[in-house]
Amino acid sequence: MVNRFEAKLGSGSVIIETGKMAKQADGACTVQLGGTVVLITAVCSEEPREGVDFFPLTVEYQEKTYAAGKIPGGFFKREGRPSEKEILTARLIDRPIRPLFPKGFINELQIVGIVLSSDGENDSDVLAMVGASCALSISDIPFDGPIGAVRVGRINGKFVLNPTFKELDSSDLDLVVAGNASGLLMVESGSNELEESLILDAINFGQKSLQVLIELQEKMVKVCGKKKQAITLYKVDEELVRKVKDDSRSRLDEINKLGTKEQREGAMDLLTKELVARFVTEEAAYTENDVKSALIEAEKEAVRKYIIEKRRRVDGRAFDEIRPISCEVGILPRTHGSSLFTRGQTQSLSVTTLGTSADEQMIDALEGETQKSFMLHYNFPPFSVGEVRPIRGPGRREIGHGALAERALKPVMPDKEKFPYTVRVVSDILESNGSSSMATVCASALSLMDAGVPIKEPVSGIAIGLIKEKKETI
């Protein structure tokens, strides 16, 4: 049976339909705004995945060229590897839904989003986010949703809900907000040096606006939602957790006082081996994975307790104390611009290269062909964290971090009329111990200035964490 639901959102209407397409998926729906239509499916394995201690969720997002009435280029004339936009959208879908699954849920789950139609005006990314929530909510997969997602622009001093591509060109804000009925789940934004109060107002505007989408999905669940299936959740034996906490409490307190990442990691590795040797025996039914999971619980509790009681981070710093910073520029003799930014044990080597308009990146998207004259690429080689693994092309995380840093620097790049060069910045992470993406922002700003690019203002980036314990917020 086909069910169709519609809600007014901004200047348009969002239409969600289920029961027509992909009926063998656990949950499926299409989401439409204007002439843009996205199909979203959710499928979950029947049994938990063996031997894992993480949630095996994968999100795939595809923009079919037929959606815009186009035939793919190249010799094979079919869609190939995911574009940067598709990878970034998949990450956008993933972030707000991942925290809403039960703890210990290790069944493999795949979300697939396919753009079926594109009108060249309405972006499909927020529709895919809403569709993922809807497909999960009406399925039998355990999910603490629904969620809503909207894009907020600001044109002539007024907030605009889900602006079109053309409207975004004249907007000084591009903000994506995802949340549920009780609060925010994700914020992603780029702006032209707006005041903090305006950003907060935009977030509140988006959070209030997306409630319409949540209410719409709640109606769908009542009409065509499936009964949630009973899932076997991975849970470490409570007696083992208690024993591991008792045996490791004093050691964890000492480890938290160690000053460097290497010291803490070395001490944790030794403690893990001792606990595994002690508890993984023929008499006990515990596995090595069980012991490691129990130790993670104990470590989390110890770290939170240390921070709250000592009013310090585990490396001894105050909450607002930044690691020692050193900056160098012009360190490479034959590059156009270079910098080495080091913050504690995180280090970024950033190199800027200038080219002509012939070096611009050609982007063939559903909404049309565009040229890109500023690019920032981020690389995270294994040696930066002392690991051994093959070096292939950039992964999703590397593409996401590069896009994040590029978004931070793009508003301060000079106008093309004044500086008609193509600019490529590459950030190679040489060491990593926290927030290499923000180190990339700082290093890249230095590298651009060393190359003589007349950026409007220097830019820096910083990461922030949050701990909530009862009524206390740190």
What is the domain range of residue 245?
Answer: 238-310
Asked whether residue 283 carries a pLDDT value surpassing 80, the answer given is no
In this prediction, residue 21 carries a pLDDT of 97
Q: Are residues 438 and 391 in the same domain?
A: yes
In this prediction, residue 260 carries a pLDDT of 83
Is 457 part of a structural domain of the chain? no
In this prediction, residue 262 carries a pLDDT of 87
Q: Are residues 163 and 277 in the same domain?
A: no
What is the token pair recorded at 380? 């995270």
Is 297 part of a structural domain of the chain? yes
267-291 average pLDDT score: 87
Is 156 part of a structural domain of the chain? yes
Q: Are residues 102 and 186 in the same domain?
A: yes
Of the candidates 141, 180, 145, 126, the one whose C-alpha atom is nearest the C-alpha of residue 42 is: 141
In this prediction, residue 282 carries a pLDDT of 65
Of the candidates 225, 244, 228, 226, the one whose C-alpha atom is nearest the C-alpha of residue 236 is: 244
Q: Could you tell me the pLDDT band of residue 117, with boundaries at 50, 70 and 90?
A: very high
In this prediction, residue 1 carries a pLDDT of 87
In this prediction, residue 10 carries a pLDDT of 87
- For 41, 109, 216, 235, the CA distances from 22, given in Å and listed in that order, are 7, 16, 21, 33
Q: Are residues 173 and 298 in the same domain?
A: no
Task: State the total domains in the chain.
Answer: 3
Is 315 part of a structural domain of the chain? no
In this prediction, residue 236 carries a pLDDT of 87
Q: Are residues 343 and 392 in the same domain?
A: yes
In this prediction, residue 408 carries a pLDDT of 96
12-41 average pLDDT score: 97
CATH code for the domain in which residue 273 is found = 1.10.10
Q: Are residues 250 and 350 in the same domain?
A: no
State percent of the chain over pLDDT 70.
100
Listed residues 248, 283, 310: the one ending a domain: 310
Q: Are residues 220 and 244 in the same domain?
A: no
Report the DSSP pairing between strands 422-431 and 374-379.
parallel
DSSP string for 59-90: EEEEE-GGGGT----TTT-S--SPPHHHHHHH
Burial 356-366 (b: 16+ CB within 10 A, else e): eeeebeeeebb
Is 273 part of a structural domain of the chain? yes
Q: Are residues 155 and 267 in the same domain?
A: no
Cα 124 from Cα 63, distance rounded (Å) = 9
Asked whether residue 279 carries a pLDDT value surpassing 80, the answer given is yes
Is 468 part of a structural domain of the chain? no
Listed residues 268, 284, 310: the one ending a domain: 310
Is 471 part of a structural domain of the chain? no
CATH code for the domain in which residue 96 is found = 3.30.230.70
Q: Are residues 284 and 353 in the same domain?
A: no
In this prediction, residue 381 carries a pLDDT of 97
CB 426 within 8 A of CB 380: no
Q: Are residues 123 and 30 in the same domain?
A: yes
Listed residues 253, 278, 310: the one ending a domain: 310
Q: Are residues 260 and 304 in the same domain?
A: yes
Is 367 part of a structural domain of the chain? yes
User: Phi/psi at 307 (nearest 5 deg)?
Assistant: -65, -45
Q: Are residues 23 and 141 in the same domain?
A: yes
Strands of the sheet with 27-33, listed across from one edge:
3-9, 12-18, 27-33, 36-48, 107-117, 57-63
